[in-house]
Each structure stands twice: as C-alpha cells, then as structure tokens.
Amino acid sequence: MSAPGADRVRLVAWVHGRVQGVGFRWWTRSRALELGLSGYAANKPDGRVHVVAEGPAPACRDLLELLRGGGTPGHVDLVVDTWEPARGGLPGFVER
C-alpha cells in the first residue's frame, strides 16, 4: 500500500494551436475542477497556453487526454507534456 499522496503528480502541458481568445483556459479550468485537480492555465505571448495541473496521476492523465481530444474550444495542433512529482502550493485551479 502506498503512502497517502504518493500517487500525486504534476502535469506540465504546453498547448499549441488556436487556443487563445476562444475560451480554452475557462474550458481547461472546468475540466480540471471536475477531475479534482489544482493548478492553472495561462496564456503566453507566443500564442500557447501553459497548463500546470496537480493531483492523482489518473486524473492528470485524463486531463491530458481531454487537452489532446477533439472537444476543446479553438483548435489544438500539439500538446507537449512533461511529468514531475507534485510540489503542492496550487490551491484550486485558476486562469492566469
């Protein structure tokens, strides 16, 4: 049996495509909250959206699948993801 919180991870995703000005951050926040994740979605000057989400590994994998799926606002061309140990310090899920 693993220790409490041992399966918590941090997903860092860079979303490329037409993802600004289309409600993408709001949509991402809604999906993340439904999955019980904390973190943020932030617009970047180069047109990408930076998503950082922490929580149980299965929920983070689900969010990544949703980001790559066809149901997002706008149009996603590519999602580049990295995985890290959870660090904490991300209350709720916010748009930045």
- Show which residues are catalytic: 25, 43
Give residues with Cβ within 8 angstroms of 22, minimum separation 6: 73, 74
Contact 11, 35 (CB under 8 A): no
Cα–Cα dist 88/30, whole Å: 20
**Cβ atoms within 10 Å, residue 93:** 25
